[in-house]
Each structure stands twice: as C-alpha cells, then as structure tokens.
Structure 1
Amino acid sequence: MAGNEISIEPIGSKKDRARFVDLGRAFAAREPHSVPQLRSEQLELVDPDRNPFFGHASHQFFIATRDGKDVGRISAHIDHLALELPPEQGMGPGTGMFGYFDAEDEEVAKALLAAAEEWLRGQGMTHVLGPISMSIWEEPGLLVKGQDHPPTIMMGHHPAHYQGWIEGAGYEPAKTLLTYDLDIQKGFPPLIQRIVQSGERNARINVRHVDLKRWDEEVAVVLGILNDAWSSNWGFVPFTPEEIAYAGKKLKPLIHRRLNMIAEVDGRPVAFMLTFPDVNGVLKKIDGKMFPFGWISLLKWMRKPAGTIMRVPLMGVLKELHNSRLASQLAFMMIENIRQNAVEWLGSTRGEIGWILDDNQGMNAIADAIESKVNREYIIYRRQL
C-alpha cells in the first residue's frame, strides 16, 4: 500500500537534530535495561558547532518516516583523519561510517542502511564500517552480548534483533570489542600481588594520582600517552588538540583523584589509567532529567559516588614499553591502587574494564590475570560499497 511506503529524509537543522535525538531516546526507552542519558549531552554530541569531532568529519543525518510517523534514524559520516590511516589498521582511504542506528523493523533498517551507503558512495567512499556513533571514541560497535544488564557510563546498548538486521543487509564482522566485569572486593592472585610489591620497591617507578589543580596539563599528558600507546591499534584515530581540550572539560566532573593514575619511570610519565564512577546508576533514578530536581541527586552523587560500579574506559603505556614486563607491572600497580581506593573510600564492589579489542593479547592477558570475565561484546561491521 502506498500509505505504508518508507521515506528517508536527510536532516540538518537544529530543530531536526533535536527530533533525531528524541527519536533515539524513544527507541532506547523500549529496552528494559537501557539507561536514559542527559538530553543536553546528546544534543551537544550531534551539534557541529559544539562537538570538535565535526572539525575533521563530514556527515549526514537521516530520519525514516512511514504513515507520517518517525520510524528510524541513522548517521552517515566520514572521519577525514581515519582516511589517512593505514588500511591494515581497519580504516584508511575510502572508509565511510554509519552510526546512531535505530529502526522499527527490518524493512526500515534496510532502507536506512541503503540511504547511508548511497550518501557515502556519493562522497567517494568504497566501504563502510558501523555502527560507530560517531567518533570511534564515543560509542563504537553494536551490542551483541550483554543485553541482560544495564550498560555502564559511555557504553552503547542495543536490542538483540539489530544484529540480524545488519547482517541481513550484507554486513560482516570487522572487529569485536570486549568489556570485562571484575569483583574488586577480593584481592588479586598472589602472583599479581608479588608483581605489584616488586614495583613498589623499585625507586625508578612512581605511580601517582592525577593532580586536579593542574588538570589541563594532566589531560595533555594522558592523551599524549594515549595517542602514542594506541597508535598501532585497529580503528585508532588520534585526538586533535581541540578534542583534547573538549574531553578535558567534559570529563573533569567525573574525575576523582584517587581513581585516576599516572605512572612515571625516572620522573617521566609513561602510562595512565582513567577510572570513571558509573553515572548511569543515578541517571536511571532521575530518568535522565536534570529538572526539576534531578540536578540535586546528580550533584550529590558526583561529590562522593558511594557504592558505584567503576569503569576503566582508557589506559595506555607508551609504545616503546609494549610487550615488556615493566608495562604489565605498571598496569597491575595502577589497577591495584585504584581497586583499593574504590573499595575503601567508596565501598564499591564491581569494576568494568573496556572496551578492549578481542585480539589485543596484552590487555586481554591482564584482564585474565586479575580474574575478570567478559560481560559484554560489541561488533563493528564492514561492507563493501
């Protein structure tokens, strides 16, 4: 019937971006374990005037309608920094991306994917990766394992049937990303404790908390190490100076000095570990709404997030130390220090590490050594255009 035809509408105005965000929020609200995020934050992420990602990216947002009703959304985008990377790192010349994927049914899903592919093809792209919403540093991958529990901070959450719809449209897995769940109340195995104790006796090593009084400098140190440490990883796109400043401003409210570490060797910063208390717990209680009274609960929680799950989203060691005993030792020392502080100061019981590439042998070995278990899997898909 003509009345059931799907229409795909490219959008770009401020009003339509709000419609795009609200449509995603409506889809998320259907999922039993989804956590409502702050609408203001979601609007900022898709605003080219406010998110520095758009300083090196081209994009087009689409909304699908049927019978006058919005029934799906998708982004098509090109990260021009990703085009400069070696193809063996997963991106490189000709790489387009899709993200912010939501659909009412499989017919809508295929129409949205086709629209994103057509736009990318018109921009000269030869293959597409997704979902990546929108920077690789924001929400990469489709959740394919772990829908039975809520996501932690900065982790995507998707219904199980999206996997079949994307694969049914001709997409194949390009990379799997893992997160690990960890009981932080119990100490680590004796071998790990000995490695930590050995490091503590080494006068060359200094594992310290971040200095919030010098926050801008510390952010530059951390992301400088990150840009070096991850530079050979699949999917890596370097942070620009503008993104470093933006990330520092956005992350500062979540930073507690006892939970974030920088490791120095001979006085030189060579490794870091960032740990964020899981704000999703309080966001669920206030239904993602700051007003009228949600901001009170959020402010109180931010001062001391007692009992909260701890997520380690980022850690890194300078590339020159990769595959060395020292790299593992520094990682274990930072993890143990943060674990003790989270338990003793906040009464936390669980931690989550990730995401981690499924073929990152060093990080997966560390996760196994501290007896953590995979609790979520995300897939980034690929298709030739």
Structure 2
Amino acid sequence: MRIVEVLDKKQQKDFLNIARVIYKDDSNYACPLDPEIEGIFNPEENSFFKHGEACRWVLQNEDGKVIGRIAAFINKNKAFSFDQPTGGCGFFECVNDKTAAFTLFDTAKEWLKNRGMEAMDGPVNFGENDNHWGLLVDGFMPQGYGMPYHQKYYREFFEEYGFKVFFEQYSYHLDMTKPFPERFWKIAGWIAKKPGFTFEHFTYKNSEKYIQDLIAIYNEAWKFHDNFSPIDPEDIRKMVRDGKNIVEEEFIWFAYHEGNPIAFFVMMPDINQILIKMDGKFNFWSKLKFLYYLKRKTITRARITVMGVAPKYQRFGVESAIFWHMDKVMKRKPHYKEVELSWVGDFNPKMVSIYESVGGVKKKTHFTYRHLFDPNKPFKRTPIIPLENRGTKAKEKKVVESEE
C-alpha cells in the first residue's frame, strides 16, 4: 500500500471519487458537491486556515488503485484548550480492509504528532461542527444535508484502532403531519403572546441586521462555555450569500424582548433530496437540474441546524414560542412533511428534552471519537453542560469543538 498526499488535480479527483466507489450501491448516500469538499481544503474559501492547517491523503493498493482517503487538521484556536493538545481527522473513507484503515489513521496521527498534538478527534470537519461531523453508527437512512453517512464497518475500524467515544450526537425527526403535543402547544402559545416579546423571520432585505443580531445572541449565549471563541461575521455573511437560492426566509427566526435580540433559530431545506440525484457534480447541466427539482418542490424535509438563546432567557420557553411560529409557516408549505432536528449531544439533556417535548423521535446516532496518543493517560468524555450554562442549540457547536 502507498500513501499519497493530495497535491495536484489528479489526486484531488481521486480524493473525491473514492467516496463514489465506496457507496456506489448504497441508495441512501447523497454525495456532497465536489466544490463544497474542495472548498474546505482551500485557504481562500475556508477561514479556518487563518488559525490552522490541514493536509489530506489517498491510499493506493499494490496496483495503484485508490482504496481510501483521510484528512488531518489543527485548529490552533482550540487545539491547546484540552488536557492534551488535540487535532482532528476526517473525510475518512475506506474499503473493508482493516490494514488499509489503520494505515490511514496512522498517517493522520503522525502528521498531528509532528505538530505537537497528543490526541485526535474524528471523524470531524475543518470548519463548523454542523457539517461533516461524527461517525454514523445508527440510523442508516438518507441523511439530512451536512450530516455524514458512513459504512457500518467503519465503527469497528475506529474502535479497534483505539478511538473512544468522546460524545454521542442524536438526530430527532419531527413528523409535520402530526400535531404538536397539547401540553407543549399551550405553553408555546402563551410565551409567543407574552407582552414585551416579539418574533420575526429573516429577510435578505435586512440580512445585515439579522447577521448582527445572530452574532450578539451567539456570543452572549456561549461566552461562558469552555473553548468559546466569538463568531466571525464574515463566515455568517458567506453562508448567507451561498444559500441565497436555497434559504426559505421564513425558516430562520429571531426573538426579541423589548426590542433586544434574545434568540435565533435556523432551519434549512434538506437539499440532499436533490443532491442524491446529482452524484456530487455541479456543472452547468447539474445546476439546471438542481433548479428544476427545486421548483418542482422535490424537497419534503427540512433540517434545524442551530438554535441559540441568551442566558437570561433560557428558562422562559422562548424556543417553544419559536416552534409555535414555525408551525404556522409549515402549514403554509404543506409539501414539507418532516423536520430533522440535528444534532444534539448527549452532554445536553436540556435540548434532548426539548426535542422530545415537541414530539421528536430519535432516528440517528453519530459518534465523535477521541484517540489519545498515549494510552496511559486518562480518557475523559465531554462533560454534561451545567443547567445554568446550557445554550439552547441544535448541535451545541463551540462547546464541544475540539477540532474544527
């Protein structure tokens, strides 16, 4: 076997195509767009290169055929905030061969060790943890956009190599054809109409206002959490620009108390229902194909990616009131039949409770693993978030980011 660092266009193509080979007979797999994956490894597109570095490889067999891939990265803003300096590995794909898998893990490990790391998390992303984060271990069904899909045998590879579960990630599904539980509905309606509280959805016309409101809420909600770092406004602006043809303005909500922003909620159409037809390509014809399916209302699912509530208002039931408003929106868009609530960590029982209170059913489980290079050091899982510090967030990003 031969490890090859990805440095030229042919190797980039090999890195992308091996995933198509691994999942060619799996009807659940929606191949991410090639430009999206390449953008993660492009310093001009990924702001995490401002405070980090990344490298990726493909693995060839004796005949020169590509049989696997992996990437490794260091986020210097986070790496040294743990008991041991921690990097990350991700974008792992491999044929069903343990020797090949371990060769890939060894490669990422050595690269990280040579840069002073003593542990690696995986599989994770070189970016925010709402995308490409965690290993699917239960719920082998079509995934929401951004949620990774994997082969079942990957779990054995990670655990036999020495990775241990750092935290579990749960995705809940909400059947929008069924009414919310009556008790939840009464509480949500009461909060939604309480004096001093107002709710409004995002508009592109006033996008900069909402970006600033989101940043204010985000920074206030997570400033006391471990590993917190303020959100970069330009990252949010880029997400808004990139999503302009996809975003439903009424799927993004903000709550205010006496005019001050106190909570936000972001839900996106699940474009995986279209991407599954495109095999990761995004050329001229595939763009036309995408727009065709988009106009035909092919998308029947949405995914809640993030919620945030300022600490002072975290026990007011504000998130319930947002669901109350969202339910009215969904009734005007009956082609949406299902909402994925993803993801919530096992370290955040408050959010688990909220998801279950609205009628969500746990459908998928991903694991984020950590591998300590020195097996004699004590392993610690992500701690449960104390009640007074719990942000209401679909994925609790930043709290648990060990490597982005």
Does the CA contact (< 8 Å) of 1:17 and 1:46 recur in 2?
no
Q: How does 1:42-53 map to 2 (within 5 A)?
A: 42-53=37-48
Change (3 A) 1:27 1:208: same
How far residue 333 of structure 1 moved from its aligned partner, in angstroms, is 1.5
Question: Letter of the aligned partner of 1:354 in structure 2?
Answer: S
Return 5+ residue gaps in structure 1 as ranges.
1-5
Change (3 A) 1:146 1:114: same
Correspondent of 1:145 among 138, 142, 147: 138
How far residue 23 of structure 1 moved from its aligned partner, in angstroms, is 2.3
**Separation of aligned partners in 2, 1:143 and 1:119:** 25
Correspondent of 1:195 among 187, 199, 220: 187
1:60 correspondence with 2:82: no
Question: Letter of the aligned partner of 2:372 in structure 1?
Answer: Q
How far residue 303 of structure 1 moved from its aligned partner, in angstroms, is 5.3
How far residue 190 of structure 1 moved from its aligned partner, in angstroms, is 1.7
Does the CA contact (< 8 Å) of 2:54 and 2:71 recur in 1?
yes
**Separation of aligned partners in 1, 2:229 and 2:143:** 24
Which residue number corresponds to residue 103 of structure 1?
A: 94
Change (3 A) 1:291 1:76: closer
How far residue 20 of structure 1 moved from its aligned partner, in angstroms, is 1.6
Correspondent of 2:340 among 314, 332, 352: 352
Which residue number corresponds to residue 243 of structure 1?
A: 235
Which residue number corresponds to residue 176 of structure 1?
A: 168
How far residue 193 of structure 1 moved from its aligned partner, in angstroms, is 1.5
Which residue number corresponds to residue 221 of structure 2?
A: 229
Which residue number corresponds to residue 133 of structure 1?
A: 125
Return 5+ residue gaps in structure 2 as ranges.
374-404
Which residue number corresponds to residue 386 of structure 2?
A: none
**What's the CA shift string for 1:106-125, capped at 9, x where partnerless?**
11100110111111111001
Q: How does 1:299-378 map to 2 (within 5 A)?
A: 299-302=291-294, 305=297, 308-322=300-314, 324=315, 326=316, 329-378=317-366
**What's the CA shift string for 1:268-311, capped at 9, x where partnerless?**
11101111111111122344434464323422444574651011
Question: Letter of the aligned partner of 2:5 in structure 1?
Answer: P
Change (3 A) 1:215 1:49: same
Does the CA contact (< 8 Å) of 2:35 and 2:282 recur in 1?
no
1:17 correspondence with 2:12: yes
**What's the CA shift string for 1:302-328, capped at 9, x where partnerless?**
457465101101111013333x1x1xx
**Separation of aligned partners in 1, 2:299 and 2:66:** 39
TM-score in terms of structure 2 length: 0.85
Does the CA contact (< 8 Å) of 2:274 and 2:298 recur in 1?
no
**Separation of aligned partners in 2, 1:219 and 1:18:** 35
**Separation of aligned partners in 2, 1:95 and 1:359:** 19
Which residue number corresponds to residue 2 of structure 2?
A: 7
SS of residue in 2 equivalent to 1:133: coil
Which residue number corresponds to residue 272 of structure 1?
A: 264
Correspondent of 2:112 among 113, 116, 120: 120
1:41 correspondence with 2:36: yes
Give the 4+ runs in structure 1 shifted more than 6 A: none
Higher helix content, 1 or 2:
1
The worse-fitting range, judged by mean Cα deviation, of 16-25 and 259-268 is 16-25
How far residue 145 of structure 1 moved from its aligned partner, in angstroms, is 0.6
**Separation of aligned partners in 2, 1:84 and 1:246:** 28
**Separation of aligned partners in 2, 1:348 and 1:205:** 28
Does the CA contact (< 8 Å) of 2:200 and 2:254 recur in 1?
yes
1:79 correspondence with 2:75: yes
Does the CA contact (< 8 Å) of 1:175 and 1:381 recur in 2?
yes
SS of residue in 1 equivalent to 2:370: strand
**Separation of aligned partners in 2, 1:28 and 1:239:** 35
How far residue 15 of structure 1 moved from its aligned partner, in angstroms, is 4.3
Question: Letter of the aligned partner of 1:150 in structure 2?
Answer: P
Question: Letter of the aligned partner of 1:73 in structure 2?
Answer: R
**What's the CA shift string for 1:246-266, capped at 9, x where partnerless?**
222223332212211101111
How many residue pairs end up in the alignment?
A: 370
Does the CA contact (< 8 Å) of 1:307 and 1:346 recur in 2?
no
Question: Letter of the aligned partner of 1:277 in structure 2?
Answer: P
CA RMSD of aligned residues (A): 2.2
Does the CA contact (< 8 Å) of 2:14 and 2:66 recur in 1?
no
How far residue 139 of structure 1 moved from its aligned partner, in angstroms, is 1.4
How far residue 191 of structure 1 moved from its aligned partner, in angstroms, is 1.4
Does the CA contact (< 8 Å) of 1:199 and 1:330 recur in 2?
yes
**What's the CA shift string for 1:152-193, capped at 9, x where partnerless?**
111100011000011010111011011101111222122111
How far residue 238 of structure 1 moved from its aligned partner, in angstroms, is 4.7
Which residue number corresponds to residue 94 of structure 1?
A: 85
How far residue 39 of structure 1 moved from its aligned partner, in angstroms, is 1.8
**What's the CA shift string for 1:205-225, capped at 9, x where partnerless?**
111111220213322322442
**Separation of aligned partners in 2, 1:161 and 1:240:** 37
